[in-house]
Amino acid sequence: MRGSKRSPTTPQRPEAGFSFLEILVALLLFSVLGLVLWSGLASAQGLVRKTIQRASLSLQILQLDTGLRQALGRVRVPFWVRAEAAVSQEGSLLAISWLDGYPEKTLTLQLRDGRIRIGEAGAQGSFGPFSGARLRLYRDEAGRPQGVEVSIDRGGETTLLLARFGSNPL
Amino acid sequence: MKERGSASAVVLILILFLSALFLAASLFLELSLRQLRRSEERDERRRSLLREARRTLQLLLEDPTPLSDSPRDPVWEGIQRPVESGCTVELRDLSSRLGLNWARRELLESLGVLQPGHSAQELQQFREDTGIHLNLKPGFLAFFSEEDLDSLFTAYSYFNINIGDELALRKLHFVRGGDLARAEEFHVAIQQLRIQRQTVESSELEQRIGAENYRLLYPLLNAEPAMNLHFVPASVLRGLFRHYQVPVEKAESILAMRPSTEFGASELEALFGKEAFQKTPLRQYLGVRTWFWQIRVRCGEDGLSWVVARLPGTEGPARLRLLEERFSP
């Protein structure tokens, strides 16, 4: 910027603004500065987005873990029933009877479009979406169902959630 | 262009935008971290509950008199001193009440606790129609008052081959095997035993019911005394003695002695009287071991309930198996 100091000996220049060259240099400087700012901003935005995505996925997994444990903890297959008889699987739909210890009450779990739906008649909870999620029965060494296992792909690494029924076979 | 310098509006907007972005991100991260902390705290509280439950289980396993469970066992003293601060532990005998899934018609009638307008035969039919129940409520509330249902009956009980209702045993066979014809064959075999007034001892169970049925039904079906004399409700004890025409004074004497005495299996004959011990099925109902325990731990607002089963037929230390685990809230 031009200063406002003026020498009394030099003749006063008219305030005619900047020369063409000055404008060009200033434009160039601002362009470079803008470019640097823009790329910094873009990478910061990318970083923030990535952090939010990761945190969001962690939160969703945490919520799924809590929901899964709470729901499966309510499954009380009596000690006289073979656990296999309490579970049925049709495609991606798992149906587990003996919810709260009542044979007619069924808990359903389904993986559809990356979302995991957990619920009973009249009340459904939905978690996700998760990419590369898998839902399957968890069995003991003897092959008896003991709970449900969910694996979720987190960009190369897999998170495994394991929720057991509220009861064990005798 | 202005002589006086001022921040460019573009730069200001950029700063504002960046601040908003970082504020939103940090808020979201803060929320996530808070939820993560809550989850960690919940896990820690659960670990405390589990530690107490495991300690109680260990005390049960370390019983110096494993063939008899009584209020004099060290576990009762041990649970009064929880290791975790602010926690309380309760231990409850779940099996020393009449098994409502198998109790016989005549006994239920004789106890005199059925609601007016309902018969034991109706109850037997109800069991036949609806199967074996884990929750006695609401199904059996039509037949008994809520208080009687809670205090006299249980669903946590093994089926004793000598005293179980024969239709209930057939139902058990069907539930396990899913084959009605085989369940009926088993039912006929049980009827034969009853007609011949034969008592099956634990050691001969496999031979009497056959290897296949044994594999299918044991340990759910066994020949062990169903209830523990130390914990059976007084009204059930008196009712049993009355039903089998054993002088009720003997029941009163047991009730008077049991708070301060640990009975052994070999003392039962003297307690019941020789004739009652040998000629009635009392010893199939009343023994000195508990088959199902409930361990309830409470630490502040958090609770844990375990149902643990003791496997029958062992003569050494108890073999316990965790059947149910429930956290609350």
Could you report the predicted ipTM of this complex, rounded to two decimals? 0.82
Q: Is a pLDDT exceeding 60 seen at residue A119?
A: yes
Say how far residue B201 (Cα) sits from the centre of its chain. 24
pLDDT number for residue B240 = 96
Would the CB atoms of B321 and A170 count as touching at under 8 Å?
yes
pLDDT tens track for B120-130: 999 999 999 99
Outline where DSSP puts E strands in B113-176: 153-154, 159-160
Residue B13 contacts A where some CB pair is shorter than 8 Å: no
pLDDT number for residue A62 = 87
Here the tokens at position B278 are 């040998």
Q: What backbone torsions phi and psi does residue B38 show, to the nearest 5 degrees? A: -60, -45
B285-305 burial, b if ≥16 CB within 10 A, otherwise e? bbbbbbbbbbbbbbbeebbbb
Would the CB atoms of B1 and A45 count as touching at under 8 Å?
no
Instruction: Pick A55's closest partner by Cβ from B28, B132, B176.
Output: B28
pLDDT number for residue B7 = 58
pLDDT-derived band at A66, boundaries 50, 70, 90: confident
Q: Is a pLDDT exceeding 90 seen at residue B37?
A: no
Q: How many CA atoms lie within 13 A of B104 on its CB side?
A: 16
Q: Is a pLDDT exceeding 80 seen at residue A15?
A: no
pLDDT number for residue A168 = 87
B195 versus A82: the higher-pLDDT residue is B195
Q: How far is CA B204 from CA A71, A168, B200, B207, B313, in A?
A: 43, 28, 7, 5, 11
Provide mean pLDDT across the span B169-191: 95
Question: What is the third-level CATH fold of B47-94+291-328?
Answer: Pantoate--beta-alanine Ligase; Chain: A,domain 2 (3.30.1300)
* A98 contact residues in B (CB cutoff 8 A): 134
Confirm if B95 and B228 have CB atoms less than 8 A apart.
Answer: yes
Residue B134 contacts A where some CB pair is shorter than 8 Å: yes
pLDDT number for residue A8 = 54
Q: Is a pLDDT exceeding 50 seen at residue A1?
A: no
pLDDT number for residue B49 = 93
Which of B216, B36, B265 is CA-nearest to residue A55? B36
pLDDT number for residue A161 = 92
Instruction: Pick B36's closest partner by Cβ from A45, A62, A168.
Output: A62
Q: Is a pLDDT exceeding 50 seen at residue A2?
A: no
Q: Is a pLDDT exceeding 60 seen at residue B179?
A: yes
pLDDT number for residue B40 = 85
Provide mean pLDDT across the span A61-78: 91
Helix axes B166-177, B120-130, angle to 10 degrees: 10
Q: Is the dihedral of CA B310, B322, A143, A109 positive or negative?
A: positive
pTM: 0.83
Instruction: Pick B175's closest partner by Cβ from A56, A76, A81.
Output: A81
Mean pLDDT taken over chain A: 85
Q: Is a pLDDT exceeding 90 seen at residue A45?
A: no
Q: Is a pLDDT exceeding 90 seen at residue A140?
A: no
Q: Is a pLDDT exceeding 80 seen at residue A4?
A: no
pLDDT-derived band at A97, boundaries 50, 70, 90: very high
Mean pLDDT taken over chain B: 91
Q: What percent of chain B has pLDDT over 90?
A: 79
pLDDT number for residue B166 = 95
Q: Is a pLDDT exceeding 50 seen at residue B200?
A: yes
Residue B18 contacts A where some CB pair is shorter than 8 Å: yes
Provide mean pLDDT across the span B83-97: 91
Number of other CB atoms surrounding residue B136 within 10 Å: 18
Angstroms from B272 CA to nearest CA on chain A:
31
Q: Is a pLDDT exceeding 70 seen at residue B6?
A: no
Q: What percent of chain B has pLDDT over 70?
A: 98
Interface residue ranges in chain A relative to chain B, Cβ cutoff 8 Å: 1-2, 4, 17-18, 37, 41, 44-45, 48, 51-52, 55-56, 58-59, 62, 66, 73, 76, 78-82, 85, 98, 100-103, 164, 166-168, 170
pLDDT number for residue A3 = 46
Provide mean pLDDT across the span B141-152: 95
Which are the contacts of B285, defined by CB distance < 8 A and separation ≥ 6?
B160, B163, B225, B226, B227, B240
Which of B286, B230, B284 is CA-nearest to residue B257? B230
Provide mean pLDDT across the span A41-51: 85
Query: In the beta sheet, which residues pair with residue B316?
Result: none
Would the CB atoms of A82 and B134 count as touching at under 8 Å?
no
Q: Is a pLDDT exceeding 80 seen at residue B168?
A: yes
What are the structural domain ranges in chain A?
A: 49-164
- Residue ranges, CATH 3.30.1300, chain B: 47-94+291-328
* B36 contact residues in A (CB cutoff 8 A): 58, 62
